[in-house]
Amino acid sequence: MKILTIVGARPQFIKAATVSRVIQQTPGVEEVLIHTGQHFDKNMSDVFFDEMGIPEPEYNLGISSMSHGAMTGRMLEGIEQILLDEKPDWVLVYGDTNSTLAGALAASKLHIKVAHVEAGLRSFNIRMPEEQNRILTDRISTVLFCPTDVAIDNLHSEGYEGLDIRVSKAGDVMYDAALYYGDRAKQPEWISDLNVHNGFALATVHRAENTDNPDRLREIILAINEVHITTPVILPLHPRTKLIIQKLGLHLDVHIVEPVGYLEMVYLLKTCDFVLSDSGGVQKEAYYFKKSCFVLRDETEWTELVEHGANKIVGANRQAIVTAATERVSDIDFSHELYGAGDAANKIVAYLQHYGHVGRAID
């Protein structure tokens, strides 16, 4: 069996690492990896392949820094030709990026089976490119691997039991990664130069809904600057966010560092006091390492984290962000197994081996 895996962005590298490791250990299963190039910066891409043991991509399309339409179209064209050459049994896509949609669409048009990992998530904000990508990818996939009961319920509500698409609750491959790499955390060399020995907050800002809205971005920056006065804030700054901040003439008065690799990110998550982030992946990673996360968005796909009190949605409201960071709750229960038992990758590979056809079922 040949599986063609498509990745392009940081969260996908982490997810693919867990599944690729199982594929390598499974006789009779071959994997071909395509890197679309969506994240091209060395700190956003190459370092993940190096430190996580992800196989070197057989193909790198080098497609980035374009509009959504141009990027997706170029990816679709490039992936289609590779599919014609490789003739895989399955195309495996992750998450909700342009790479995800392009891969699923190219395979679907060629009648190649598509497996979508992290399916069924909904923010219910159709203006988000990620929401559009995940809805469209789900609809044209063969198998949907859902991480949570909420994701399964979303698909039930959309009538998926009446479609020729299999739906399976596999658990979250990000949890697999957290368990596997948790003891391999790498302390960044630069952290000793920062005065954070009494604690710090970890922040990430990259979502288009924040970076492309000057008012929202300004509020978030003012808020984390204010938080930094009492709790030092470490902000690994996404290259695109950095460029927009410079263009807008905004000032960050926090500890700004270059994007970090996954093992350094694990160290920061394990040692920080709390997290401020608009990243879907970081919201969960914070939970895995028993840290509360204040979500810099107006909604989240990971509603179970809010319901259990681990996360709080603060949007781009300066006062809400500062208040949440100041009055943070310390008695959060992180014991709930919200995302499976850490064996999602094994379930996914076994499922792909067993089901080589389309069938109407929700497992």
pLDDT tens sequence across 16-33: 999 999 999 999 999 999
Average pLDDT over residues 129-154: 97
102 has a pLDDT exceeding 80: yes
Split at pLDDT 50, 70, 90, the class of 360 is very low
Identity at 326, one-letter amino acid code: T
Closest CA to 48 of 238, 204, 237, 261: 261
Is residue 121 over pLDDT 80? Answer: yes
Separation between Cα atoms, residue 18 and residue 39, nearest integer Å? 19
Is a pLDDT exceeding 60 seen at residue 358? no
pTM, two decimal places: 0.89
pLDDT (average), residues 248-260: 95
Which amino acids are annotated catalytic? Answer: 206
User: What size, in residues, is the chain?
Assistant: 363
Q: Between 48 and 246, whose confidence is greater?
A: 246
The per-residue pLDDT for range 186-236, each reduced to its tens digit, is: 999 999 999 899 999 999 999 999 999 999 999 999 999 999 999 999 999
Angle 100-48-16 from CA coordinates, rounded to 5°:
40
How far is residue 270's CA from residue 268's CA, in Å, rounded to a whole number?
A: 5
Confidence class for position 41, pLDDT limits 50, 70, 90: low
| CA dist 319 → 35, 214, 277, 323, 328 (Å) | 40, 17, 16, 6, 14
For residues 340, 345, 348 and 349, what is the CA-based torsion angle, rounded to 10 degrees? -150
pLDDT of residue 230: 96
Q: Where does residue 67 fall: left (phi above 0), alpha (psi -120 to 50 degrees), or beta otherwise?
A: beta
pLDDT for residue 43: 52
Residue 77 has pLDDT above 90, yes or no: yes
Cα–Cα dist 55/188, whole Å: 24
Q: Which domains does the chain carry?
A: 2-172+340-362 (3.40.50.2000), 187-326 (3.40.50.2000)
pLDDT of residue 64: 78
Instruction: Note whether 339 and 301 are within 8 A (CB).
Output: no
Please answer whether residues 253 and 233 qualify as being in contact, where contact means their C-beta atoms are separated by less than 8 angstroms: no
When comparing pLDDT for 355 and 302, which is higher?
A: 302
Give the span between the Cα atoms of 286 and 283, in whole angstroms: 5
**Inter-residue contact 275 to 282 (CB < 8 Å):** yes
Which of 143-152, 214-223, 268-277, 330-339 is least confident?
330-339
Residue 357 has pLDDT above 50, yes or no: no
What percent of the chain has pLDDT above 90? 83
pLDDT band at 165 (very low <50, low <70, confident <90, very high): very high
So what's the pLDDT on residue 39?
A: 61
Q: Are 125 and 142 in contact (CB under 8 A)?
A: no
Residue 102: closest CA among 42, 178, 12: 12
DSSP 12-23: HHHHHHHHHHHH
Instruction: Please determine, for residue 156, whether its predicted confidence score (pLDDT) is greater than 70.
Output: yes
